[in-house]
Chain A
């Protein structure tokens, strides 16, 4: 049966299970938007294409499905770039469909022509330029497969306008042939046995759980492995939720702003089991003195990550879930009582320094807000964040009990991610409570999506931490630039009025005792709600490993027992 290229695109996307797409129409993708009306797909009209990519990303991370973002050629497509790079750095499966000028115009600098496949080449897992309608079915099938399989990532399809309009015979082909693409599944048996022997000999092991645990769906296997071998679990920012925070074996977050006892455990370990993580500089600190006494086993699906930053003793290249399933029968039950009690000692010292242990000084800290939010929601909400201090505090104080609930831009550190990713997550789980924790800086980068939230009736709650500063940069200037504040002060609008202008109920809280009533108000009120928290302006995130320092050379929060006057 003959169909237009645009119809074929939707036929294929519907078969891939696409129910919602985030996008923005324009000259070069109008045939796609016209054809869309005949398919059971809900379109979310964003206010800026960057947010379309973030929404697709948030949708993908919350649902485990592939998110879809759409944009027109030229500026529409280039606006997607930040969102695509964000998905790339965090291995998030999204497919971006962009319109391109007609094929005979390519290379002629036509109106709104940009070399989109060229621009996105280094920030996509793969991309396609489609010039003929008969390519669309195959390309769409491949794009979704590549996006979600192996190490997931963004795939972009740039479709010329004439290919959208022209007709061709459509026959859906289930199978695809990618001779150069075979993600590994199992690791070699001999290596597995060697790994099991190392594990049996280890006295002070630590598991480093990364995003790969979630991406490969290995949460259950991780739990079985950790409890069987009594190995504590340190998590990367993106790995949070892969193991319940309340479990005694959980060490919380590692790295630059990780728990001190967690970093100490890593530095004193004799074996690191890196599961689906990539030894990012934010989690290792100084590489030369990283876990110096530890042998290292690295389970990783992307062979280019093996030995990239840290040389490992045994690489197990394969799908983490599969490898763990193979590995669990090979390891014996262990008891690391002495090691675990050492960690407990470090942990109690950390708790003493915690800001939540401070006596009430009447000031409102972000940690207070997050503690109250965590308590009220019983740690059960989906939490998306922006990037900066509030992001680290959310990671530290919103203790994640469940997987796929923390959605944050890790590798790319993209400001503006919080609000759109929350809207995307809502489309994945409209039945769930969804909070986005944002700062006053990043929020204003994609604030326009408040309109989108209202238009879609997205039931998301915005917790805006307003300190009138670009807090993390300010903190660095305080610590490392002699407190010479350069371009970090923000003169903000009245956020409650901004919300009001959108028809969004809003409240402001300025003291610790106003936090709970505000949270209750937000939870009682259906639809989007904004809470502005006027927080302590010059608070710093502790602990902090300065860039390039050893992982256990942390700047610690001073112990304070008396109320501050």
Chain B
């Protein structure tokens, strides 16, 4: 089963390296890692997808908190969250195949964003499952190239994800924090 974690980190040089280095050192296997800006300049957001059979989500969470630059970690697996992945798929397409591809694309609410004499690029956004389904249908036609952003995730409404180790970084309501000096 896949696990999806959201990590808020300080937007500082080298933070991605710290996270990647941690995963390597602790032998955590991740399937995708997406990093991007947020509504606040000083904070970046990571979406980490991993196979939970190999890597325990709590273990990843508490180890992320060992990094001084990691502010918050939430597990949004099985939570009311919007999960999205974007893929660009270059498909082999002689002119007479274009209609079939366009047809498939429209069923999946994907778009054709480039047309060349013998190929087209399909852009699709959605859950991993949806993208996998389209890929399955396009494969017999001939996929030349594919790139995916990796999953990004956001909780619906005011909900938050699960924090496996409350208090690990001071988010437990009962716990008094050691702040200041």
Do A and B bind?
A: yes
Q: Chain A interface (Cβ within 8 Å of chain B)?
A: 117-118, 121-122, 125-126, 129, 145-146, 149-150, 174-176, 178-190, 302-304, 306-308, 317-319
Q: Which residues of A contact B17 (CB under 8 A)?
A: 118, 121
- Whether B147 is near chain A, meaning CB under 8 Å from some CB there, is no
User: Is B175's CB under 8 angstroms from A186's CB?
Assistant: yes
User: Is B21's CB under 8 angstroms from A182's CB?
Assistant: no
Q: Beyond A117-B14, A304-B63, A317-B167, is A182–B172 a contact (Cβ under 8 Å)? A: no
Interface residues of B in 98-126 (CB under 8 A from A): none
Residue of B21, B66, B178 near A319 (CB, 8 A) is B178
Q: Beyond A121-B17, A126-B68, A303-B65, is A180–B10 a contact (Cβ under 8 Å)? A: yes
Q: Which residues of A contact B166 (CB under 8 A)?
A: 188
Q: Chain B interface (Cβ within 8 Å of chain A)?
A: 9-10, 13-14, 17-18, 21-22, 25, 58-59, 62-63, 65-72, 165-170, 172, 174-181
Q: Which residues of B contact A190 (CB under 8 A)?
A: 174
A319 and B175 CA atoms in complex are apart in Å by 11
> Shortest Cβ distance from A500 into chain B, in angstroms?
46
A182 and B177 CA atoms in complex are apart in Å by 6
Q: Beyond A117-B14, A188-B175, is A304–B71 a contact (Cβ under 8 Å)? A: no
User: Is A188's CB under 8 angstroms from B167's CB?
Assistant: yes
Q: Beyond A150-B178, A184-B170, A185-B176, is A178–B65 a contact (Cβ under 8 Å)? A: no
Q: Which residues of A contact B25 (CB under 8 A)?
A: 122
19 contacts between A and B (CB under 8 A): A121-B18, A122-B21, A122-B25, A125-B68, A149-B178, A150-B178, A178-B68, A179-B71, A180-B65, A180-B169, A181-B68, A182-B169, A182-B170, A183-B177, A183-B178, A187-B167, A188-B172, A188-B174, A188-B175
Q: Which residues of B contact A184 (CB under 8 A)?
A: 167-168, 170, 172, 175, 177-178
Q: Which residues of A contact B165 (CB under 8 A)?
A: 303, 306, 317
User: Is B181's CB under 8 angstroms from A174's CB?
Assistant: yes
A190 and B174 CA atoms in complex are apart in Å by 10
A185 and B169 CA atoms in complex are apart in Å by 11
User: Is B65's CB under 8 angstroms from A304's CB?
Assistant: yes
User: Is B68's CB under 8 angstroms from A146's CB?
Assistant: yes
Closest to B69 in A: A180
CB within 8 Å: A-B pair count: 87
Q: Which residues of B contact A307 (CB under 8 A)?
A: 58-59
Q: Which residues of A contact B172 (CB under 8 A)?
A: 184, 188
Secondary structure class of chain A's binding surface, majority of residues: loop
Q: Beyond A185-B177, A188-B175, is A303–B167 a contact (Cβ under 8 Å)? A: yes
Q: Which residues of B contact A117 (CB under 8 A)?
A: 14
Secondary structure class of chain B's binding surface, majority of residues: loop
User: Is A180's CB under 8 angstroms from B67's CB?
Assistant: yes
Of the listed residues B165, B167, B170, B179, the one surrounded by the most CB atoms of chain A closer than 10 A to its CB is: B167
User: Is A317's CB under 8 angstroms from B21's CB?
Assistant: no
User: Is A304's CB under 8 angstroms from B66's CB?
Assistant: yes
> Shortest Cβ distance from B130 into chain A, in angstroms?
34
> Shortest Cβ distance from A452 into chain B, in angstroms?
33
Closest to B66 in A: A304
A117 and B69 CA atoms in complex are apart in Å by 15
Q: Beyond A121-B17, A180-B71, is A303–B177 a contact (Cβ under 8 Å)? A: no
> Shortest Cβ distance from A468 into chain B, in angstroms?
38
Residue of B18, B21, B62 near A306 (CB, 8 A) is B62
Of the listed residues A117, A145, A189, A304, the one surrounded by the most CB atoms of chain B closer than 10 A to its CB is: A304
**Which 10 A-B pairs have CB atoms at the shortest separation, nearest pair first?**
A182-B170, A303-B168, A304-B62, A180-B71, A303-B62, A126-B68, A182-B177, A185-B178, A188-B174, A303-B165
Known: A122-B25, A307-B59, A317-B165. 8 other contacts (CB 8 A): A122-B22, A126-B67, A146-B68, A183-B178, A185-B178, A186-B174, A187-B167, A190-B174
A129 and B58 CA atoms in complex are apart in Å by 30
> Shortest Cβ distance from B176 into chain A, in angstroms?
5
Closest to A145 in B: B181
Q: Which residues of A contact B59 (CB under 8 A)?
A: 304, 307-308
Q: Which residues of B contact A125 (CB under 8 A)?
A: 68
Closest to B170 in A: A182
Closest to A126 in B: B68
A126 and B68 CA atoms in complex are apart in Å by 7
